[in-house]
């Protein structure tokens, strides 16, 4: 199944961001630390120009630590880019972001010279959670479904920094289906645009290739099959996703498996690494 998801408000959001970005001093791009490339919008990179950019690698607590370190090194080779792994729910970690913004725009953040920063990113990477933590109160809407924020708003942090909160922005053409399936696995794609069974098979194949032991351990699999479909059936049986007659409901099994994977129940997992061959990845696990 080909995944396509571009809600109507995103076209408007692209226009709003392209207009607002001219007046900001620092771009804060929120990424999912588990898939920093797939969760990075190339349209935002084009709009940024030469403005300083902080790539906030959110959900760091769910990502493979060794892989995250490799991503930080890779990102900081780019001109004007700093990478900051964190969990948007942790104030102590998020406070690093304020200090980094002030370092990247040293003439700003003073009386009469506000530092204007824009928070951008794809849906469901934690932009609103990050803003609420920075502000110390609930300002932006938060949910576990993508596309909660649908319009821009300004937030004065009362410390010399004003944030622009923007809607999650994807790109209209999802020609890279491997990236689309990684996004779906992470929860960044609306449920109506994906087939849970296909995405579950993709995720099972990935785990077989890269995190076999956590997969075996979580579901107490004594004999781990090389077939993603067999693994998904075994998971479904362990989780009680049965139909009358004792068969497995693969849709329910995939949904439950993805829910556990997204919540970190299988340990800290990264879905892509620097230097990954995306062409090969595109052939792996995309079913239907």
Q: Please tell me the least confidently modeled range out of 46-60, 152-166, 267-281.
A: 267-281
Give the confidence band of 277 by pLDDT, cuts at 50, 70, 90.
low
Count the Cβ atoms, other than its own, within 10 Å of residue 173.
8
- Asked whether the predicted pLDDT for residue 32 surpasses 50, the reply is yes
Average pLDDT along the chain: 85
Closest CA to 137 of 155, 151, 123, 154: 155
Give the confidence band of 1 by pLDDT, cuts at 50, 70, 90.
low
Tokens encoding 217: 């351990």
- Asked whether the predicted pLDDT for residue 67 surpasses 90, the reply is yes
Give the confidence band of 44 by pLDDT, cuts at 50, 70, 90.
confident
Give the confidence band of 282 by pLDDT, cuts at 50, 70, 90.
very low
Give the confidence band of 280 by pLDDT, cuts at 50, 70, 90.
very low
Phi and psi (nearest 5°) for 42? -65, -25
pLDDT winner (highest mean) among 67-71, 111-115, 169-173: 67-71
Question: In this predicted structure, what is the pLDDT of residue 5?
Answer: 46
Q: Please tell me the least confidently modeled range out of 8-12, 53-57, 222-226.
A: 8-12
User: Which of the listed CATH numbers 1.10.940.10, 3.30.70.580, 3.40.50.300, 3.30.420.40 matches domain 9-165?
Assistant: 3.40.50.300
Secondary structure of the chain: what % helix, strand, coil (to 5)?
45, 15, 45
User: Which has more confidence, 49 or 105?
Assistant: 105
> CA 63 to CA 39: how far, in whole Å?
14
The kind and range of the H/E element at 12 are: helix 9-20
User: Which has more confidence, 285 or 88?
Assistant: 88
Question: In this predicted structure, what is the pLDDT of residue 206?
Answer: 97
Which whole number is the average pLDDT over 215-244? Answer: 94
- Asked whether the predicted pLDDT for residue 54 surpasses 80, the reply is yes
Please report, for the chain, the start and end positions of each structural domain, with discontinuous segments joined by +.
Answer: 9-165, 195-283
Question: In this predicted structure, what is the pLDDT of residue 122?
Answer: 82
Which whole number is the average pLDDT over 257-284? Answer: 80
- Asked whether the predicted pLDDT for residue 8 surpasses 70, the reply is no
Q: Give the predicted TM-score (pTM) of the model.
A: 0.85
Count the Cβ atoms, other than its own, within 10 Å of residue 246.
7
Architecture of domain 195-283: Orthogonal Bundle (1.10)
Which whole number is the average pLDDT over 217-239? Answer: 93
Which whole number is the average pLDDT over 169-175? Answer: 60
Give the confidence band of 170 by pLDDT, cuts at 50, 70, 90.
low
- Asked whether the predicted pLDDT for residue 148 surpasses 70, the reply is no
- Asked whether the predicted pLDDT for residue 143 surpasses 90, the reply is no
Note whether 216 and 223 are within 8 A (CB).
no
- Asked whether the predicted pLDDT for residue 50 surpasses 90, the reply is no
Residues 6 or more apart in contact with residue 248 via CB below 8 angstroms? 232, 233, 236, 237, 241, 242
């Amino acid at each position: 199944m080909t995944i396509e998801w571009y809600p109507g408000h995103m076209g408007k959001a692209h226009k709003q961001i392209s207009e607002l970005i001219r007046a900001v001093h620092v771009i804060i791009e929120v990424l999912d630390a588990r898939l920093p490339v797939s969760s990075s919008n190339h349209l935002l990179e084009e709009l940024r120009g030469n403005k300083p950019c902080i790539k906030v690698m959110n959900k760091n607590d769910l990502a493979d630590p060794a892989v995250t370190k490799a991503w930080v090194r890779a990102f900081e080779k780019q001109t004007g880019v700093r990478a900051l792994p964190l969990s948007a729910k942790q104030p102590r970690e998020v406070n690093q972001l304020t200090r980094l913004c002030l370092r990247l725009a040293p003439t700003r953040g003073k009386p009469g010279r506000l530092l204007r920063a824009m928070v951008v990113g794809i849906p469901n990477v934690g932009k609103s959670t990050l803003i609420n933590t920075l502000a110390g109160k609930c300002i932006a809407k938060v949910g576990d479904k993508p596309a909660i924020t649908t319009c821009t708003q300004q937030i004065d942090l009362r410390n010399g920094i004003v944030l622009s909160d923007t809607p999650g922005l994807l790109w209209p053409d999802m020609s890279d289906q491997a990236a689309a399936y990684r996004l779906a696995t992470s929860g960044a794609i609306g449920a109506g645009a994906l087939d849970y069974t296909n995405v579950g098979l993709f995720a099972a194949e990935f785990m077989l290739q890269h995190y076999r032991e956590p997969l075996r351990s979580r579901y107490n699999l004594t004999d781990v099959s090389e077939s993603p479909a067999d693994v998904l059936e075994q998971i479904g049986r362990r989780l009680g996703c049965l139909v009358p007659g004792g068969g497995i409901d693969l849709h329910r099994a995939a949904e439950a498996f993805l829910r556990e994977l997204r919540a970190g129940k299988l340990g800290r997992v990264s879905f892509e690494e620097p230097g990954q061959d995306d062409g090969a990845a595109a052939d792996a696990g995309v079913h239907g």
